[in-house]
Amino acid sequence: MWPSKWTKTAEELAKLLEHWDGAKAEVWEYSSHHGQLLIRFFREGTHASHSLYLLCKDCRTVHFQAYWLNMQVRVNLKSESGTSAHFVSDGDRLRVECGAVSAAQSDAFIHLGDQSKEVKQL
């Protein structure tokens, strides 16, 4: 089930990432063919499937550990000569350069193949 509400602004994204600071992180799916990376953030608790998903699209550079604790993901946007790049990082555990990044919370597990409509890009 693909979430219907993905972040549309950098402010929404920053607020969600701040809320989930300290959560566990795992690379949920990566498609080098489609240039997409889906990362799941979660906390142990009564509702194990409640998660934040971070979707990176048009990935140019990707480096990640499969799983890590105490996430502190940050997203920076750089615009140069008419093109923009998002830099997603969490120390040496995650480094991604991509064309678009968005996040959504979900109580159901999601997958890249579940995309039924285009995710709004920042």
* DSSP-derived secondary structure letter, 92: B
pLDDT values of the chain reduced to their tens digit, one per residue, 122 residues: 577 789 989 999 999 999 999 999 999 999 999 999 999 999 987 677 899 999 999 999 999 999 999 999 999 988 766 677 999 999 999 999 999 999 999 999 999 988 744 444 44
Per-residue buried b or exposed e for 104-121, using 16+ beta carbons within 10 Å of the residue's own CB: bbbeeebeeeeeeeebee
Distance CA 93, CA 56 (A): 16
Res 46: pLDDT: 64
Q: How far apart are CA 86 and CA 58, in angstroms?
A: 10
In three-state secondary structure terms, 80 is strand
